[in-house]
Amino acid sequence: MRIPKYRLHKPSGRAVFQFKPFFDGKRIYLKGKFGSPESLAEYEKWRAKAVEHLFGKESTQSPRSYFPTVADMLCAFLDWSKENHGEKEYDHHCKVARKTLEKHEHTKVAEFGPLMLKSVRESMVAADWSRTHINHQVNRLRFAFKWGVENEWCDASVLANLKAVLPLRKGKTKARETLPVEPVSWAVASLLLPYVAPMIRAMIQVQYLTGMRSDELTALQGKWIAKGEGAWIYKPDEHKTAWRGKRKIICIGPQAQAVLQPYLV
């Protein structure tokens, strides 16, 4: 077994230390940014304890009681999110984590309660995030703590307390409101058709006729289309809710079939 190295955790920019006999091999996120005197000093302390452990000067128990901080848990959560969510959702997780760490980087996970959650939410209001987006981001932060309970970063009571925080209500907060996103009418979208390349024109028509998302359209391959009498069935290999284990089915009618046919090799 080797002495653990001083390593960079890229998503957070922090230094990490990982030694299998300590805390079941979980990463220890050092104080301060990677390369800072603070993180290097803490690394030297942990390195010394690892050396003592390897040479039999310490028991097999962890060197001290470990009380993980919010930063420790969120950094580990982001690692998990990157592997288990799409790029867009991972980006949302990164943004809410950064906003949380502005105030509570060194707060112990076990001490993070409803008032702290509300203080993070107020910082979102101050940053001019919309009310609905703030509510979504608060739910994402609670989801991070749910993951923390599952992976024994904190007790279930921490999550239960955070669930007591009610969402921001329309007209009862300083958070700005946003107008609903309306679909572009075909009368407007069709005006573009004479000015775009043939393939782009076909993509616009197919998206209008089928209602599929842009990423589903750009990823479309003939092998994922079941042709038969009547509507064709398109089952994209990747889609927005794939991470939930759901299968997406898109029906392609005769008009869309006629547009697609020249591009299906």
The domain locations on the chain are 7-54, 70-162, 186-263
Angle between helices 131-150 and 70-84 (to 10 degrees): 100
Q: Are 21 and 28 in contact (CB under 8 A)?
A: no
Average pLDDT over residues 196-202: 94
* DSSP 8-state assignment for residue 126: H
Task: Tell me how far apart the alpha carbons of residues 18 and 246 are, in angstroms, rounded to a whole number.
Answer: 36
- What is the structure's pLDDT at 64? 34
What is the tens place of the pLDDT at every residue in 132-157?
A: 999 999 999 999 999 999 998 889 99
- What is the structure's pLDDT at 23? 56
- What is the structure's pLDDT at 146? 97
Helix, strand, or coil here: 216? helix
- What is the structure's pLDDT at 165? 97
**Structure tokens of 133?**
């987006």
* Exposure on the CB side of residue 165, measured as CA atoms within 13 A: 24
| Mean pLDDT lowest among 50-59, 112-121, 178-187, 208-217 | 50-59
Paired strand residues for 226: 233
Strand 225-226 and strand 28-33: the pairing is: unpaired
Percent of the chain with pLDDT over 90: 42
H-helix segments, the chain: 37-54, 70-84, 87-104, 114-126, 131-150, 156-162, 186-189, 198-210, 214-218, 254-260
Among 82, 101, 96, 120, which Cα is nearest to 33's?
Answer: 101
What is the tens place of the pLDDT at every residue in 25-78?
A: 667 788 888 888 888 888 878 777 776 665 554 433 333 345 688 988 898 899
